[in-house]
Amino acid sequence: MAAADASQRIVELRQLLQTASYAYYVLDAPQMEDAVYDQLYRELQGLETQHPTLITPDSPTQRVGARPATQFVSVQHHIPLYSLENAFNEGELRAWEERWQRLRPDITSFEYVCELKIDGSALALTYENGLLVRGATRGDGTMGEEITQNVRTIRAIPLRLQGEHPPSRLEVRGEAFLPLDVFQQINQEREQAGEALFANPRNAAAGTLRQLDAQIVARRRLDFFAYTLHLPAREGGEIPDLTSQWSGLERLQSLGFRVNPHRCCCQTLQEVLDYYDRWSTERLNLPYLTDGVVAKLNSLALQAELGFTQKFPRWAIALKYPAEEAPTRVQQITIQVGRTGALTPVAEFQPVHLAGTTVARATLHNSDRIAELDLRIGDTVIVRKAGEIIPEVVRVLYELRPTAAQPETQRYHLPTHCPECGQPVVKPPGEAVTRCFNSSCPAILRGTLVHWASRDALDITGLGEKLVLQLVSQNLVSSVADLYNLTMEQLATLDRMGQRSAQKLVAAIQASKQQPWSRVLYGLGIRHVGSVNAQTLTQAFPSLQQLATAPPAAIAAVYGIGPEIAQSVSEWFCIPANQTLMQRLEAAGLKLASSAEPANLPVIQTGVTGKTFVLTGTLPTLKRDQAKALIQKAGGKVTSSVSAKTNYLVVGEDAGSKLTEAQALGIVQLSESQFLALFPEDDS
C-alpha cells in the first residue's frame, strides 16, 4: 500500500479503535465485537510495521513500551496533590461544615458533590495539545515519580483526548485501582508460581504502578477513575471555564475519561449522610474496593475562595467507613525501641484477618494507653485497622478475662530499663512516651541508620533493616558517617552479601552524597523535623552554617515551623556529638548547602511576617522559587490558590484566573517592583 493510502487508513483505524475503547472502558457500552477489534488492531499494527515513520505516541499500538525502564525519576507536580481531611462520624462531618461556613457565613445556598472514595493509588496526568505526555504518582503531593510508560498501559486512560480542539495543556487527577476479580486472579497465579501473595488490591495496585517493566503492568489490567481536571486560564480549545465540580466530571467523561457512575449531587449535609449510609452496604457489591465517600463543595468559585490549609482543601472531606474489627487474644506484650529512644509496647496476639491482611501484632502506643485500656496478657481484645492500614487495639472484653489475669498484680508496666542497652529509661514530664536517652543504644543506632537510608532521606538502595542489624552487631558502624567508610571487603563478609552485592551497596552509599541538603537534614532524624519541614528549613536556611547558628527565634519565624520545632533543631545542633557528626559528613562530601541558592536577594526583614501571598504569571527578573524564598524567609506564607485570606497577589506577565479571583475579592495586587519594595535592602 502506498504511503499516502496507508496514512489515511491508519488515521481511520486509530479513530475506530479509540472510539471502541471509549465505548467499552468509559461508557461501559461495547460497540464492537472483540474479534473485530482484534482484527482492526492487527491491521493497524501491520501498517505501522510497514510504515514506521507514521507511528505516533497516541496510537493504540503504543500503549506498552518496548523496553523495561531502568529507574523512575522524581518530578515536581505542576499543581500540588493535597490529601483530604478525614471524618469518621456524623459529628466530625458537621464540624467540618461549620468550619468552612464560618469563613463564608453569607453563603446560604450551596451543593455538595459526593463520590465514592476508591481504594487505589492517586495519579497525576498531563496532556499537551490533547496528547498524554506525563503520568506521575502522588508521592508527597509536591514531588512524585514519573511513570508515564506504565500509565499508558491503563486502557481507561486515553492516550489522546476526545474532541477536535483540545486545550494546549490539561491536568487530570484520578485513582488507579485493581478490580477485585483481577486481584484474585493475580494472587492465584502468584500462588501457583510459588510467589508471595499481595496483601490487598491497594498494595497490589501501588506495586504494579512501580514495576519497571510495562509489559507486567499491562498484564495486570489496572483500571482508572478520573475525578478532577485543571485547565490553565486563557486557554483555547473546547473546554470553556468550568463553574462546578459536577460539570468538571461531565467534561472529563466527554474528553474520554472514565468517571465513577455512582456520583451524586446533594443539596444538604443530611443528603450526604444518606448517600454515605446507602453505600455502606451497597459498596460490598461493587467490583472494586471503596473505603469511604468524598464530599466536595460543587461551586468551583467557592472552592477557590475557601482555599487550603497547610495539608487539606477546606472545601472537601473524606467520610471514612468504620474499619473492620475482629476479636483475638493477647499472648504477650513486647517492647520496641525506636530511633528516638521511644519505648513502644506492642500487643502480640493470635493472628486475625483484617481488611484483606492477616495481622498478629498491634501497637499499644505508650503506658498511658495500656492503663486506659487496663490491658493484661491473656485478655480478649477487639482489634481493627486504623484507616484500614495500621492495626490497633480498640477495647478489652473484660467479661472474658481469664482468672489468672484478674488480680491487680497482673497489670502490665513498662520496664524501668531499656531492653536493648540496659540503661534506665525516663518518662519526661508532660510527655506520654517513655524514652531511652543513651545515644549509644543499639536500637537507636539501628533506627537512625534505617531512617538515613530510607527513600525520602538519602535513598540508599540495598541498605535495609536486616543489613543494618549486621552492621551494628559486628561493630562496623556506630554512626551514619561510618557508612561512608565501609569497604567492599568489609561488606562481603556479611551474610547474603557477596562481592557483587557489596559493590552495589558501596556505589549506592557513595551516590547518596549527591542528595540535596534538604534530604540530609531530614535524614538526621531531628525530632519533629519531617521531610516537609526539612524542605521548608533548607529553603529558609540554604546552608548548614546558617541553620546551625540560627537562634531559635529566627527558626521559629519561618512559616510552618514554630517554637517547638525551632527549639528541637537548635538544641540538636548545640550537642557536641552532633557537631562532630556534621563535620564528618562534610568531610565525606555530602551536600550541606543548597545548590540553587537564590543569588543577590535582598536581606530579609520582617515586614511581611504572617502575610499570605499568591504568585501568578511570569515575573520580569525573579524566578518563582526566588520570590517564594523571599516571602518564606520573611515569615510569610505562599499558597497556590486565591482565597479570602490572601493578603497580596504578585502579578507577572500572562497572569491567569487568579488575577480575576483576586479582583473579585478586592485583594491587593503587586507588580514585581512593588513586591521587592516590601523587603528593605541590606545596609551592611
The one catalytic residue in 117, 591, 628, 633 is: 117
Answer yes or no: is 277 a known binding residue.
Answer: no
Contact 63, 132 (CB under 8 A): no
Annotated ligand binding at 296? The verdict is yes
Helix (H, G, I), strand (E, B) or coil at 515: coil
Q: Do residues 114 and 295 make contact, with C-beta atoms less than 8 angstroms apart?
A: yes
36 is in an annotated binding site: yes
Q: Consult the annotation and say whether 574 binds a ligand.
A: no
* Rounded distance between C-alpha atoms, residue 628 and residue 598, angstroms: 10
Residues 318, 324, 330, 331, CA torsion sign: negative
Taking a C-beta distance cutoff of 8 angstroms, is the pair 176, 123 a contact?
Answer: yes
C-alpha atoms less than 13 angstroms from C-alpha of 302 in its C-beta half-sphere: 21
Task: State yes or no: is 117 an active-site residue.
Answer: yes
List for the chain the helix, strand, coil content (%; round to 5).
40, 20, 40
d(CA 661, CA 667): 9
Residue 205 is labelled as binding a ligand: no
What type of residue sits at position 219? R
Is 436 labelled a binding residue?
Answer: no
Q: Is 439 annotated as a binding residue?
A: no
How many alpha carbons fall within 13 Å on the CB side of residue 174? 27
Q: How far is CA 635 from the centre of its chain?
A: 26
Distant-in-sequence, close-in-space partners of 3: CB < 8 Å, separation ≥ 6: 51, 54
Find the DSSP H helices in 375-512.
442-453, 465-473, 488-492, 499-511
Rounded Cα distance between 476 and 492, Å, is 12
Q: Is 84 annotated as a binding residue?
A: yes
- 3-state SS class at 414: coil
C-alpha grid cell, residue 468:
543494618
**According to the annotation, is 421 in a ligand binding site?**
yes
**330 a known binding residue?**
no
Q: Is 196 annotated as a binding residue?
A: no
User: How far from 465 is each of 164, 207, 340, 469, 484, CA to CA, in Å?
Assistant: 54, 20, 16, 6, 18
683 among the known binding-site residues? Answer: no
Give CA–CA dist 468/477, Å, rounded: 9
- Helix (H) / strand (E) containing 125: strand 121-128
Least Cα distance to 343 among 437, 230, 256, 454 occurs for: 437
Q: Print burial letters for 354-378: b (CB count within 10 Å at least 16), e (below 16).
A: bbbeebebbbbbbbeebeebebbbb
Backbone angles phi, psi at 332, to 5 degrees: -165, 165
Torsion over CA: 249, 254, 258, 263 (sign): positive
* H helices present in 67-179, as ranges: 90-103, 148-151
Task: Determine the Cα–Cα distance for residues 51 and 66; give it in Å rounded to an integer.
Answer: 17
Amino acid at 218: A
Which element (helix H / strand E) includes 581?
A: helix 576-588
Torsion sign (Cα): 400, 404, 410, 414 = negative
Among 586, 554, 592, which residue's Cα sits nearest to residue 570?
554
Q: How far apart are CA 424 and CA 445, in angstroms?
A: 17
Q: Which residue has the cell 561488606?
A: 491
What is the rounded CA–CA span in Å between residue 167 and residue 328?
56
Residue 83 known to bind ligand: yes
| CB atoms near residue 591 (< 10 Å) | 19
User: Which residues are identified as catalytic?
Assistant: 117
Mark the binding-site residues for Zn(2+), compressed into ranges.
Answer: 418, 421, 441
Mark the binding-site residues, compressed into ranges.
Answer: 34-38, 83-84, 115, 138, 175, 296, 320, 418, 421, 441
Mark the binding-site residues for NAD(+), compressed into ranges.
Answer: 34-38, 83-84, 115, 138, 175, 296, 320
